[in-house]
Chain A
Amino acid sequence: MTTIAPAAPARRDVSPARHWRWTQPGLLLTGGALVLLIDPGPFDLRVITLVVAYAVAATGFNVLVGFAGIVSIGNSVFLAAGGYAWALLATSYGPLVALLAGVVLAAVIAALAGVLLLRLRAYYFAVATLALGTLGTVVVRNWTAVTNGDAGITNVGYIKVFGLSGVPSIFVAAVVLLALVSFLQEALRTSPVGQAMIIGRYDPPAAEGIGVSVAYTRVVAFVLSAVTAALGGALIAQLAGGAFPDQFATTSAISLLVIPIIAGRGWRWAPLVGAAIVIALPEYLRFLAEYRLVVYGAAVVLVALFLPGGVHQVVRAVAERLGRSRG
């Protein structure tokens, strides 16, 4: 046997699988507290809160595209489910009911759509979800009895925590939610369910060969992406002071898709880093005036083509370089 494993170097574990699970939530909460202490001013805080809200929404999407390898361009539907559920229910039934209702609605839509559509091949599924998103927008615009059409629903209130009010309160709620979903994301990744997703994406026949139901794991991943999207949608509605069709149109679905990919699919920091790039960067590129979306679009193309691992790839390369020079 020694011929196979000759004089192995000191034992090591390259797999990042065993992070201490509370590291990331702890860092997030600490970071959130620091932001409140620094008190960055209303505009910046609003942008940062929007970033965190999108990070919450994109966490499930990170699971979908990073673990299960599924691309959806229709997750705006789930944002809308969360946002409108909040807008309709929060003031009369309280924040918990509103959040839960949005989550349940999104999960049910995702489960139904997933069962029907997830047997499609990659591009077919992507375009089918694009159609789903378009359909969602049409419904939101035209079902005026419930959604009030293009005018949207205003005066939707916001979640009040720790005696705070206004944007800081939404910010804290968003950070707490992000810490929670990040914890769950990491727990999922090291659990049999998450591992089944990853092997099912990497090699479906091999996954089936060890008893994994690939179809089931795909639907589960899609439902999870819907759940966090609904949470994010509720936060976005609170921040905007209302639910409007334009917030939840195809562009937001594309943002959700770009976030994990540009930051590095499946990386546990991808939702936050990606949201910072996708949401905050265009805000701070305003000096480029009309060209900022050109720069943004070109950046997305270049990352997609030449840096498929996203920011994570850079981070890993730098870490490796540092590790090598040290030892």
Chain B
Amino acid sequence: MNSTSRKLPNALARTLTAIATAGCLFSTAASAEPLEIGVLLPSPIADVGWSHALNEGIAAVKEKYGDDVNVSTIENIQEGPDADRIMNKMIGDGQQFLLLGSFGYMNAGLKLAQRNPDRTFLHASGYKTAENFSPFTAKYYEGAYLMGMAAAELTKTKKLGVVSAFAIPELISTINGFTLGARSVDPEVTVDVIWINSWFDPAKAQDSAKALLAGGADVLFSNAQDTPSVVTVGEEAGAYVFNLNSSMKEYAPTKYLGVVKTDWAPFFVASVDAHLAGSFEGKNEWLGMNDNVVVVEDWSSDISADMKARIDAMHEEIASGARHVYDGPLMNQEGEEVIPSGERLEDGAILGMDWHVEGVNSPLPK
């Protein structure tokens, strides 16, 4: 620089220095660039539902880090080649922290994670892990157990109905938790299940809810349905109803039993913290009440004070780990003992659950 400036007129030299300084400034700014976070969601972000809950979790990250993170969200992307292409583009765009919001993003996401060891991946509902790839799931069954207790108190027909998406372990274990909770209060209660084999068919979900009501159920559980389809049927028909992920109380102001909500904020914030600190570790994140991820709220005021106290006590016991939803004795639908008294079902058996507990009337599709 010195040798050059001697040969050039002063003015030009000054300009060059200015440019150089500006360049320096620019590069300092670059080193403190915000963390690029990419979010891929399977359905549109509505006021309620799965994608909404994930988006709320990301909002908490934004709130904590402000301008230090830059979130770009792509919603309503079907699992498959389209999702793979977008994930690749996210990597190409330099996004460092990826949140993949659906089970079917797993294999393509994992491949990208293995190819890009410096990036961090969170993946919803999956089971495969890598050093920089953590699947996460909620222990919905913990909250469903409490809902079952409330439902058992409020039902008159002693029949509860579940409209359910796909017969996968996550949903089966939630129905079983619900049934166990209900029968812990009233052993005569039974549960009917309709599998609609779709995450997303509101018309079919409503027809199923009506079929369950016609069959005598008077409490409905909307298991993994992203729209308020089942919830509105409950309100109209005068049947109590609850759902997962985010509150739909406004759709059933008088008949809302409550919500088994997922609050992903603590987990997402902790993961971003870990990524920034360089201490992120890919592992199976299975989160429940204890992690403040599964939150049960918006309880119906029709639940008696006595029952509410019992539910609160049980909530305490489950959250503290003193009690587990799948503590023995556990019987299956055929009436055979699966786990004897004093023992507890292993985590692996819950994560891969393919049987119904006693009290569920409907056979499991195999």
Verify that A and B bind, or say they do not: no
Chain B residues within 8 Å of A, Cβ to Cβ: none
